[in-house]
Every structure is written in C-alpha cells, then in structure tokens.
Amino acid sequence: MAHRLQRDAHLSPFTMEDAYRILEALGPMPSEALSALVDYGLNDSEIGQYFNLPQDMITTLREHWGLSGDP
C-alpha cells in the first residue's frame, strides 16, 4: 500500500502522533487525497491550509509519495 505511514529511519521523519494527525486530516487514503489536490494545481502551502497541516509536512508527504508539484 503506497499510502501507509510506517515509521522507518530512512523513510519517514514522522512520529506516530504525526501519522495519526495526517490520517485524521487526509482520511483513509491519504496519498490519493494529496494527489488529487496536487492534480488540481494547489501548492503545498494551499494544501496545508486546506487540511490544517504545516506546509513542510505536506512537502515531505508529497516527496515521500513521489507526487509532483510546487513545494
């Protein structure tokens, strides 16, 4: 599953608290939700505001999942 947020020393800088916050904000398919907003042309700041998450968290997720877009 591409959308899983596992804590891995070389993959994810997120804590479990971050992971729960991300899943609560983006829903059960977070990579798909983020991908849709990137496809709509929103930048990381706008997406962060929409989901009430920090821009750097959105940037990290987008890069982790290989989603193109402007940071």
Full residue range of the structural domain in which residue 36 is found: 25-64
User: Which tokens hold the place of 16?
Assistant: 């479990």
**Which CB contacts under 8 angstroms, 24+ apart, belong to 16-24?**
18/57, 21/53, 22/53, 22/57, 22/61
CA atoms of 43 and 69, how far apart (whole Å) = 7
**What are the distances in angstroms from CA 3 to CA 10, 46?**
16, 21
Residue 70, domain member (yes or no): no
Residue 32, domain member (yes or no): yes
The structural domain count of the chain equals: 1
pLDDT digits (tens, 9 = 90+) for 25-52: 999 999 999 999 999 999 999 999 999 9
- Per the CB < 8 A criterion, the answer to whether 41 and 65 are in contact is no
Q: Between 62 and 12, name the one with better pLDDT.
A: 62
